[in-house]
Amino acid sequence: MKGYKLSLTAKTLTITKAFEEAWIDPESEEYKLYQRLMQEIPGLRVQRKTHDRPKKYITKQGEEFKHNPFKGLTEDNMEAFIEALSDHEAYEKQYKRAKEMAVSFGMRPYTLARKWFLAQFPEYRKNPLVYLKKHPDVVDVKDLAASEQQKQHNHDNVINYTHPAEEAATPELKEVVGQ
């Protein structure tokens, strides 16, 4: 019998979908196990396992990774990576500028800083050591900031549509309707 995990310290029975389907039948081993556990462990909670982590992650550019490519890409890690480069001054300037611009646009500083970092160091996720010898030109954060601001502006612009019947309504009808 598979499909369940019991935690005595948390008093939790975690079940899978297959276990739940078999559990419905009162004659099944799963149902008998559930009844026995409920009697022996007062206050036992049952929760359903939702899903496993994905086997692979696919970025918008179509790249596949075995793990989340942004896991561990924190502000501290980006700053430490930039600091380790031999010509880090120009990169640090743009990184700090990205954070400042994000705040001025009402965004989280991490969002624009991460986008700049990944545009500046596109091979970082696959082979970060390549930048010890390769020194790419500094990407100007203004271009990224402008595209992000345009996205935010497009998201904020909501088109108000008035149905022609509403436009043609007489003032008396609008008064009755409450407009």
Domains of the chain by residue range: 4-48, 72-156
Neighbours of 4 (CB within 10 A): 19
For residue 75, what pLDDT band results from cuts at 50, 70 and 90?
very high
Is residue 41 within 8 A of residue 50, CB to CB? The reply is no
| Tens-digit pLDDT profile for residues 12-60 | 999 988 888 888 899 999 999 989 999 999 899 999 887 666 678 787 7
Q: In this model, does residue 167 exceed pLDDT 60?
A: no
Q: In this model, does residue 114 exceed pLDDT 60?
A: yes
